[in-house]
Each structure stands twice: as structure tokens, then as C-alpha cells.
């Protein structure tokens, strides 16, 4: 099967250098973390593992990830000034490196705090600027940025999953991947749903109205190429 389909897979993307995996991928992990947290955190602790831990300084992986956390796209030249921008925005950043062996060499864990609220996200940069999220707030997940993905935090009750998939099915959307995980029986659980087409806002609202749904996070926009991330930046700036 062909790996590439469009000439723009070859001539493109437009991105900030120097490395699609160590820079563009890191920006995307930052953007995804920001989308999951829902706002700019007050404190961030970034832990780099593997190749990220060894070479993050030379590749500017720290700047890239902080840039993403501030809502900058993979094509925003201001990423070079991410530390200054973080300071201006009032986001305190701490960088930690870990020698712990991870499954993937390009792994970063982002721990975001505001007030008493803390959320952690672990992402891996799989090459060419693509990312996977492997952990969200203690839940093990497998989010790939190729498909539109929504995350649904819900109470672990019978029937919730069926109610959500019914809404999606009624809107003629096809689910391409689905994962459900929980930490404790009967407590908070996480449902991850990837779809072939993007889920319209109206459908998201309908899902939000389902009983026992706590929060919905739309990660669809993370997958878009830089030319399309302007909307994301505007959305980030508005928050």
C-alpha cells in the first residue's frame, strides 16, 4: 500500500526546524496537552525520556513543547521565544530528564497544574511530526493524531458507553477506534473515540447531555497540518 498520496506529503509540511520528530512532534504533544487541560496552566513540569532526554536542548524540543502548551502551531516562528512567552503569560516551566527506559525513545510527560487541579499527559513523537498520546491523567490510552479523536471522561456506570455510541451512530458517523479505561470500578472512567469524519459541535453537545458524562475533549484539531492550525491558534488565544 502506498505510504504517501499527495505531493504535499513530499513538498511540505511548512514547519519550524530542525526535526519533524523532535520539534514538530513536540509542538503537537504540547498542543494536545493544552487542549486536554483546556486552558493555559500556571505550572508545568515536562519530563523528557530516551532520545528526548539526551538531545532536547540541541533540537529545541523544550521550546517546541512549551510553544505548543501556549497554543503556538508547528509553523510559528515565535517558538524560538517560547520561554519568554511563557514568562509573559505567567506559565512557570520546569524541565526534568529521566533515565527510565520507555517503550518509545521520544517520550515526554507533561504535568499541568492550575490552582488545585493537576492533569498529566504522556505523548510520544513517532516520526514525521506525528504523535501518539499514551497516557492521560493516569489512564492508559492510544491516541494517534491521524484520525479525529474525542476523549470523554465519564462515571463508570452501566449503559453510558452504549448511550454515547448510539448518539454517534444516529449522526451517521463511523467509529474507527474505541478504547475504554478506568482506574477504579464505579469511579471516573475515560472513553476514547476515533471517527472517520470529524464530529460536529452539535453532536458533541448531544453527547455531553448523556447522563454520567463529566467532560468531553475534542482533539480533532491537533492532527491538522500547520496551514490549518491557524484556527487552533485563534481558539487557543481566545481561551
Contact region with another protein (CB under 8 A), list: 2-10, 31-39, 148-156, 198-206: 2-10
Contact region with another protein (CB under 8 A), list: 76-84, 145-153, 167-175, 176-184 = 76-84
Neighbours of 168 (CB within 10 A): 19
Per CB under 8 A, 94 contacts another protein = no
- Which residues are registered as beta bridge partners of 113? 43, 118
Which x/- pattern, by CB under 8 A, does the window 220-239 give for another protein? -------x------------
Q: Does 113 bind another protein (CB under 8 A)?
A: no
Choose, by CB under 8 A, the member of 39, 43, 58, 230 that binds another protein: 58
23 binds another protein (CB under 8 A): yes
What are the residue ranges of helices labelled H in 60-183?
Answer: 61-69, 82-89, 160-170
Report phi then psi at 65, rounded to 5. -70, -40
Q: Residue 46 half-sphere exposure, CB side, CA atoms within 13 Å?
A: 30
| 6 is a site residue for another protein (CB under 8 A) | yes
Pairing type for strands 213-218 and 175-182 reads unpaired
Site for another protein in 120-179 (CB under 8 A): 127-128
Dihedral sign, CA of 226, 228, 233, 239?
A: negative
Q: Binding of another protein at residue 15 (CB under 8 A)?
A: yes
- The yes or no reply on residue 83 touching another protein (CB under 8 A) is no
CB of 52 to another protein, least distance (A): 10
CB 221 within 8 A of CB 34: no
Residue 30 · residue 67 · CB < 8 Å? yes
CB nearer to another protein: give 77 or 115.
Answer: 77
**Residue 104 in the binding site for another protein (CB under 8 A):** no
Using the contact rule CB under 8 A, the part of the chain among 52-60, 114-122, 132-140, 172-180 near another protein is: 52-60
Cα distance between residue 43 and residue 115, in whole Å: 9
- Three cell numbers at 232? 487552533
- Region binding another protein by CB under 8 A among candidate stretches 56-64, 116-124, 172-180, 204-212: 56-64
Of 86, 85, 82, 77, the C-alpha closest to 16 is 77
Interacting residue ranges for another protein, rule: CB under 8 A:
2-20, 23, 51, 54-55, 57-60, 63, 75, 77, 79-80, 127-128, 227
Amino acid at each position: 500500500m502506498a505510504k504517501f498520496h499527495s505531493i504535499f506529503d513530499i513538498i511540505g509540511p511548512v514547519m519550524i526546524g530542525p526535526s519533524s520528530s523532535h520539534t514538530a512532534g513536540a509542538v503537537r504533544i504540547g498542543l494536545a496537552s493544552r487542549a486536554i487541560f483546556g486552558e493555559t496552566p500556571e505550572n508545568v513540569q515536562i519530563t523528557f525520556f530516551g532520545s528526548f532526554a539526551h538531545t532536547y536542548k540541541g533540537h529545541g524540543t523544550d521550546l517546541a513543547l512549551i510553544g505548543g502548551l501556549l497554543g503556538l502551531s508547528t509553523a510559528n516562528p515565535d517558538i524560538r521565544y517560547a520561554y519568554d512567552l511563557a514568562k509573559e503569560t505567567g506559565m512557570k516551566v520546569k524541565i526534568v530528564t529521566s533515565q527510565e527506559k520507555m517503550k518509545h525513545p521520544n517520550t515526554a510527560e507533561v504535568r499541568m497544574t492550575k490552582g488545585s487541579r493537576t492533569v498529566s499527559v504522556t505523548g510520544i513523537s513517532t516520526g514525521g511530526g506525528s504523535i501518539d498520546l499514551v497516557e492521560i491523567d493516569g489512564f492508559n490510552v492510544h491516541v494517534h493524531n491521524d484520525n479525529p479523536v474525542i476523549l470523554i471522561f465519564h462515571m463508570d456506570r452501566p449503559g453510558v458507553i452504549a448511550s454515547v455510541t448510539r448518539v454517534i451512530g444516529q449522526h451517521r458517523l463511523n467509529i474507527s477506534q474505541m478504547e475504554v479505561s478506568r482506574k477504579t470500578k464505579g469511579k471516573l472512567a475515560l472513553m476514547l473515540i476515533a471517527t472517520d469524519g470529524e464530529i460536529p459541535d452539535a453532536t458533541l453537545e448531544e453527547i455531553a447531555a448523556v447522563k454520567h458524562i463529566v467532560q468531553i475533549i475534542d482533539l480533532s484539531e491537533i492532527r491538522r497540518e500547520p496551514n490549518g492550525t491557524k484556527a487552533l491558534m485563534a481558539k487557543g488565544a481566545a481561551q
